[in-house]
Protein backbone atom coordinates (compact mmCIF):
# COMPACT_ATOMS: atom_id res chain seq x y z
CA UNK A 1 0.00 0.00 0.00
CA UNK A 2 2.67 2.55 1.03
CA UNK A 3 4.81 1.77 -2.02
CA UNK A 4 1.75 2.12 -4.29
CA UNK A 5 1.01 5.59 -2.91
CA UNK A 6 4.67 6.59 -3.32
CA UNK A 7 4.51 5.59 -6.99
CA UNK A 8 1.21 7.41 -7.48
CA UNK A 9 2.73 10.59 -6.04
CA UNK A 10 5.68 10.32 -8.45
CA UNK A 11 3.37 9.72 -11.41
CA UNK A 12 0.98 12.55 -10.57
CA UNK A 13 1.14 15.18 -13.36
CA UNK A 14 1.35 17.93 -10.71
CA UNK A 15 4.70 16.45 -9.65
CA UNK A 16 6.04 15.69 -13.13
CA UNK A 17 8.56 18.53 -13.04
CA UNK A 18 10.18 16.99 -9.96
CA UNK A 19 9.94 13.43 -11.28
CA UNK A 20 11.48 14.45 -14.61
CA UNK A 21 14.43 15.96 -12.72
CA UNK A 22 14.90 12.73 -10.73
CA UNK A 23 13.53 14.19 -7.49
CA UNK A 24 11.40 11.78 -5.48
CA UNK A 25 8.78 12.73 -2.89
CA UNK A 26 10.39 13.16 0.52
CA UNK A 27 8.49 11.82 3.51
CA UNK A 28 8.74 8.90 5.89
CA UNK A 29 5.86 6.50 6.55
CA UNK A 30 5.78 3.10 8.23
CA UNK A 31 2.87 0.88 9.26
CA UNK A 32 4.51 0.61 12.72
CA UNK A 33 4.60 4.39 13.34
CA UNK A 34 3.17 5.67 16.61
CA UNK A 35 4.13 9.33 16.23
CA UNK A 36 3.50 11.47 13.17
CA UNK A 37 5.25 14.77 12.44
CA UNK A 38 3.58 17.10 9.97
CA UNK A 39 5.65 20.10 8.97
CA UNK A 40 5.90 22.51 6.10
CA UNK A 41 7.94 21.04 3.22
CA UNK A 42 11.46 19.67 2.86
CA UNK A 43 14.22 22.23 2.77
CA UNK A 44 16.83 22.23 0.02
CA UNK A 45 19.36 20.38 2.19
CA UNK A 46 16.84 17.65 3.10
CA UNK A 47 15.76 17.21 -0.50
CA UNK A 48 19.35 17.04 -1.74
CA UNK A 49 20.31 14.44 0.89
CA UNK A 50 16.98 12.52 0.60
CA UNK A 51 16.66 12.58 4.41
CA UNK A 52 13.71 14.25 6.15
CA UNK A 53 14.56 17.00 8.67
CA UNK A 54 18.25 16.75 7.71
CA UNK A 55 19.29 20.25 8.70
CA UNK A 56 19.65 22.53 11.73
CA UNK A 57 15.87 22.58 12.14
CA UNK A 58 15.88 18.79 12.36
CA UNK A 59 18.59 18.79 15.03
CA UNK A 60 16.56 21.22 17.11
CA UNK A 61 13.33 19.27 16.55
CA UNK A 62 14.96 16.06 17.82
CA UNK A 63 16.24 17.98 20.87
CA UNK A 64 12.76 19.33 21.53
CA UNK A 65 11.34 15.81 21.25
CA UNK A 66 14.06 14.27 23.40
CA UNK A 67 14.84 11.55 20.85
CA UNK A 68 18.10 10.39 19.36
CA UNK A 69 18.91 10.52 15.66
CA UNK A 70 18.78 6.71 15.67
CA UNK A 71 15.26 6.64 17.15
CA UNK A 72 14.07 9.41 14.85
CA UNK A 73 15.25 7.76 11.65
CA UNK A 74 15.44 4.03 12.33
CA UNK A 75 12.93 2.98 15.00
CA UNK A 76 9.97 2.67 12.64
CA UNK A 77 7.93 4.52 15.29
CA UNK A 78 8.18 8.04 13.85
CA UNK A 79 6.60 9.09 10.56
CA UNK A 80 7.05 12.42 8.76
CA UNK A 81 4.53 13.84 6.30
CA UNK A 82 5.26 17.42 5.23
CA UNK A 83 2.43 19.52 3.81
CA UNK A 84 4.26 19.10 0.47
CA UNK A 85 6.77 16.34 -0.26
CA UNK A 86 8.99 18.51 -2.45
CA UNK A 87 11.19 21.55 -1.77
CA UNK A 88 9.07 24.49 -3.00
CA UNK A 89 12.00 26.84 -3.73
CA UNK A 90 13.43 29.95 -2.11
CA UNK A 91 11.40 33.07 -1.48
CA UNK A 92 12.26 36.55 -0.29
CA UNK A 93 12.09 35.60 3.39
CA UNK A 94 13.00 31.91 3.40
CA UNK A 95 11.50 28.90 1.65
CA UNK A 96 8.31 29.28 -0.35
CA UNK A 97 5.13 27.82 1.19
CA UNK A 98 3.99 24.28 0.40
CA UNK A 99 1.66 23.93 -2.58
CA UNK A 100 -2.03 24.25 -1.79
CA UNK A 101 -4.04 21.04 -2.06
CA UNK A 102 -1.05 18.73 -1.78
CA UNK A 103 -1.77 17.46 1.74
CA UNK A 104 -5.47 16.96 1.03
CA UNK A 105 -4.55 14.81 -1.96
CA UNK A 106 -2.00 12.51 -0.27
CA UNK A 107 -2.01 12.63 3.53
CA UNK A 108 -5.24 10.70 4.10
CA UNK A 109 -4.06 7.66 2.13
CA UNK A 110 -0.73 7.55 3.95
CA UNK A 111 -2.23 8.09 7.41
CA UNK A 112 -4.70 5.26 6.78
CA UNK A 113 -1.71 2.95 6.24
CA UNK A 114 -0.38 3.89 9.70
CA UNK A 115 -3.16 2.74 12.07
CA UNK A 116 -1.13 2.99 15.29
CA UNK A 117 -0.50 6.76 15.27
CA UNK A 118 -1.10 8.03 18.81
CA UNK A 119 0.01 11.65 18.47
CA UNK A 120 0.59 14.06 15.60
CA UNK A 121 3.03 16.95 16.00
CA UNK A 122 1.93 19.92 13.92
CA UNK A 123 5.10 21.87 13.26
CA UNK A 124 4.40 25.41 12.09
CA UNK A 125 1.37 27.36 11.03
CA UNK A 126 0.71 25.64 7.66
CA UNK A 127 0.15 22.26 9.32
CA UNK A 128 -1.78 23.79 12.21
CA UNK A 129 -4.19 25.74 10.02
CA UNK A 130 -4.87 22.71 7.88
CA UNK A 131 -5.32 20.08 10.59
CA UNK A 132 -6.82 22.21 13.36
CA UNK A 133 -9.11 24.16 11.01
CA UNK A 134 -7.80 27.35 12.59
CA UNK A 135 -9.34 30.68 11.63
CA UNK A 136 -6.92 33.03 9.94
CA UNK A 137 -7.08 35.37 12.94
CA UNK A 138 -5.29 33.02 15.34
CA UNK A 139 -1.54 33.41 15.68
CA UNK A 140 1.05 30.70 16.07
CA UNK A 141 1.69 31.99 19.59
CA UNK A 142 -1.98 31.56 20.55
CA UNK A 143 -2.16 28.09 19.05
CA UNK A 144 1.05 26.81 20.66
CA UNK A 145 0.24 28.42 24.02
CA UNK A 146 -3.08 26.53 24.02
CA UNK A 147 -1.55 23.23 22.89
CA UNK A 148 -3.32 21.25 25.63
CA UNK A 149 -6.69 21.96 24.06
CA UNK A 150 -5.62 19.97 20.96
CA UNK A 151 -4.43 16.91 22.87
CA UNK A 152 -4.55 13.92 22.79
CA UNK A 153 -4.61 13.88 18.98
CA UNK A 154 -2.47 16.89 18.07
CA UNK A 155 0.47 18.76 19.60
CA UNK A 156 1.12 22.12 17.84
CA UNK A 157 4.68 23.47 17.86
CA UNK A 158 6.59 26.43 16.53
CA UNK A 159 8.90 25.60 13.65
CA UNK A 160 12.40 24.75 14.95
CA UNK A 161 14.11 26.85 12.27
CA UNK A 162 16.87 29.20 13.40
CA UNK A 163 14.67 31.90 11.82
CA UNK A 164 12.40 31.47 14.87
CA UNK A 165 15.10 32.17 17.48
CA UNK A 166 13.55 35.59 18.17
CA UNK A 167 10.09 34.03 18.69
CA UNK A 168 11.58 31.47 21.10
CA UNK A 169 13.36 34.21 23.08
CA UNK A 170 10.18 36.30 23.25
CA UNK A 171 8.15 33.33 24.48
CA UNK A 172 10.14 31.70 27.32
CA UNK A 173 7.06 29.69 28.37
CA UNK A 174 7.61 27.56 25.25
CA UNK A 175 10.89 26.07 26.49
CA UNK A 176 9.84 26.14 30.15
CA UNK A 177 6.39 24.53 29.89
CA UNK A 178 5.59 23.23 26.42
CA UNK A 179 8.79 21.32 25.61
CA UNK A 180 8.92 19.35 28.90
CA UNK A 181 5.32 18.26 28.29
CA UNK A 182 6.16 17.35 24.69
CA UNK A 183 9.03 15.13 25.88
CA UNK A 184 6.76 13.39 28.40
CA UNK A 185 4.15 12.70 25.74
CA UNK A 186 6.74 11.31 23.34
CA UNK A 187 8.42 9.17 26.02
CA UNK A 188 5.04 7.67 26.89
CA UNK A 189 4.30 6.83 23.24
CA UNK A 190 7.72 5.52 22.23
- In degrees and rounded to multiples of 5, residue 188 shows phi and psi of -60, -40
Predicted confidence at residue 1, as pLDDT, reads 85
Least confident of 29-38, 128-137, 170-179: 128-137
Q: CA dist 162 to 26, 34, 54, 153, Å?
A: 22, 27, 14, 27
Mean pLDDT, the chain, whole residue set: 95
Overall average pLDDT of the 95-107 stretch: 94
Cβ contact 27:52 at 8 Å? yes
Alpha helices in the chain (DSSP H): 2-11, 16-20, 44-49, 56-65, 69-74, 102-112, 125-132, 140-145, 165-170, 172-173, 179-189
Predicted confidence at residue 119, as pLDDT, reads 98
Predicted confidence at residue 92, as pLDDT, reads 82
Per-residue pLDDT band for 96 (boundaries 50, 70, 90) equals confident
Predicted confidence at residue 180, as pLDDT, reads 98
For the chain, percent of residues with pLDDT exceeding 70: 100
Contacts of 84 (CB under 8 A, 6+ apart): 40, 41, 98, 99, 102, 103
Instruction: Give the model confidence (pLDDT) of 110-154 as tens digits.
Output: 999 999 999 999 999 999 999 999 877 899 999 999 999 999 999
pTM of the model as a whole: 0.95
Predicted confidence at residue 136, as pLDDT, reads 73
Instruction: Give the model confidence (pLDDT) of 50-63 as tens digits.
Output: 999 999 999 999 99
Predicted confidence at residue 5, as pLDDT, reads 96
Amino acid sequence: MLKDVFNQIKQDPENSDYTNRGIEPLYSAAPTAKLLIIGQAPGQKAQDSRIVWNDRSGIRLREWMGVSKETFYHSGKIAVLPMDFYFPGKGKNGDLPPRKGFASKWHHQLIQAMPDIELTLLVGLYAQKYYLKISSGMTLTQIVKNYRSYLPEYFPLAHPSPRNDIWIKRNPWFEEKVLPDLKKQIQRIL
